[in-house]
Amino acid sequence: MLPYLLLLILAHAGWVTTADLGNYSLVKNIFILAGQSNISGRGGVINHSLRPGVVNESWDGVIPRECESNPSILRLSGGLKWVEAHEPLHKDIDVNNTCGIGPGMPFANTVLKKDPSIGVIGLVPCAVGGTSITEWAPGGFLYRSMIKRTKAATRGGGKIRALLWFQGESDTKTLEDAKMYKVRLERFFNHVRHDLGMPNLTVIQVGIATALGPYMELVREAQREINIGNLKYVDAKGLQIGPDYTHLTTAAQIQLGQMLADAFLRPN
């Protein structure tokens, strides 16, 4: 009896959460976050480097209200445990980069605000900055890791509700990659659905707003032309870009998260 009471006291104090105890049945709605840096999150990341080619970054630690933690929002950690979600969501996934604010928390908070009955949301961070679509090819490390993490997330019976995908900036570098993007991305989406046993899994794709090469419009055109069912498209173009001309600002990430939530909640 005493250990049980102690556990209740610790949980109430915030030192232990039910998710940490391995209760996977808490999570009712699972969302996969995958792609590259703009979904991993670079909002609030500051580059302190004084010369080109030198990277010395830190996150400013500012968490806007739209990105605050919520007991009804959990994240699957790098160790495959459910913990209460907080920024930066990808800190133990995108480990070779400095992570900041992304769209995941504003997405989840907006969904809960607009549909309070939806139940506990579980976010599965999988994104890695700077990755190309070929690095997400079925059978590769990133792909296998995403599928493994997603299957682990469903152990308690939670339902995979959508894949949130934001990637493509790295595929603007060469004409060949830009031309092949549509075929490669459709193949990726189809394999994800097959390997998760969900042929109609909702995919919410973000149209890129920046590029690492000269072929952004070719990649954007390919994204708009993806021909699979139950695909929703959210365009990031026009959102505020940071001083590095590559990453969305914190304010833009909040706006994007809200746009993703609206797309998810919008009937097909």
- Give the E-state strand segments of the chain in sequence order: 29-35, 45-47, 57-59, 73-76, 82-84, 121-125, 159-166, 203-207, 231-235
Catalytic annotation, pick one of 40, 90, 94, 247: 247
Question: CB 66: neighbour CB atoms within 10 A?
Answer: 19
Q: Collapsing DSSP states into helix, strand and coil, what is residue 149?
A: helix
Assess contact for 189 and 203: CB atoms under 8 A. Answer: yes
**Is residue 37 among the annotated active site residues?**
yes
C-alpha–C-alpha distance, residues 61 and 113, integer Å: 24
State the catalytic residue, choosing from 77, 115, 244, 262: 244
E strands in 18-144 = 29-35, 45-47, 57-59, 73-76, 82-84, 121-125
C-alpha distances out from residue 85 to 122, 123, 178, Å: 8, 8, 35
**86 catalytic, yes or no?**
no
Q: Is 252 left (phi over 0), alpha (psi -120 to 50) or beta?
A: alpha
Is 48 considered catalytic here?
no
- Rounded Cα–Cα distance for residues 57 and 244 (Å): 12
Alpha-carbon distance of 89 to 80, in angstroms, equals: 14
Q: Of these residues, 20, 37, 90, 235, which one is catalytic?
A: 37
Residues with a catalytic annotation lie at: 37, 244, 247
